[in-house]
């Protein structure tokens, strides 16, 4: 079956995916993963065979659209869902009036992945929840 990606109101499914990938698999503390921004975000949900397998969170910050909390379950990796989630986020912000760039905080091992999607590293490498990250931007 072909995967689908769409905006969702099922925030619980998105949080369950983030818990599985970030907290259980990557060992990020729950206090670092969970915040108070989910209520104001747009959540993208990737579905495969009727099951949630990936998510991303979109936040509008003035002229910047921020893509974050991008994850795909291990069993669904290698299908291009991560790239499709990013492309869906870019498309959303490209249609949002006043947004001139898309930004994300990339785990440093994933910088080449985001670079292939058009993002450019900017600023210093920093620690986020014990994992090195660097901001990346894509002008719209």
Give me the residue spans of the domains in the chain. 4-139
Residue 1 has pLDDT above 80, yes or no: no
* pTM exceeds 0.85: yes
Residue 3 has pLDDT above 90, yes or no: no
Q: Are 125 and 108 in contact (CB under 8 A)?
A: yes
Q: Are 79 and 115 in contact (CB under 8 A)?
A: no
d(CA 85, CA 103): 14
User: pLDDT digit string (tens) for 41-83?
Assistant: 999 999 999 999 999 999 999 999 999 999 999 999 999 999 9
According to the model, what pLDDT value does residue 2 have?
A: 80
Contacts of 21 (CB under 8 A, 6+ apart): 71, 72, 73, 74
**Parallel, antiparallel, or unpaired: how do β-strands 101-107 and 64-72 relate?**
parallel
Q: Are 80 and 48 in contact (CB under 8 A)?
A: no
Task: Could you please state the CATH topology (level 3) that the domain comprising 4-139 is classified under.
Answer: Aminopeptidase (3.40.630)
**Range of lowest pLDDT (28-42, 85-99, 111-125):** 28-42
Scanning the structure block, which residue is given the tokens 């989910």? 38
Pinpoint the alpha helices (H) of the chain. Answer: 11-18, 30-33, 81-94, 111-116
């Amino acid at each position: 079956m072909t995967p689908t990606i769409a905006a969702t109101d099922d925030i619980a499914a998105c949080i369950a995916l983030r818990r599985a990938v970030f907290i259980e698999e990557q060992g990020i503390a729950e206090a670092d993963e969970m915040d108070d921004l989910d209520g104001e975000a747009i959540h993208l949900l990737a579905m495969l065979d009727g099951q949630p397998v990936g998510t991303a969170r979109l936040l509008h910050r003035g002229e910047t659209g921020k893509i974050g909390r991008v994850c795909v379950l291990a069993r669904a990796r290698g299908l291009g869902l991560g790239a499709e989630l990013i492309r869906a986020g870019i498309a959303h912000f490209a249609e949002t009036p006043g947004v001139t760039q898309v930004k994300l905080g990339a785990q440093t091992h994933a910088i080449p992945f985001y670079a292939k999607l058009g993002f450019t590293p900017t600023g210093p490498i920093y620690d986020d929840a014990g994992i090195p990250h660097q901001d990346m931007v894509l002008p719209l």
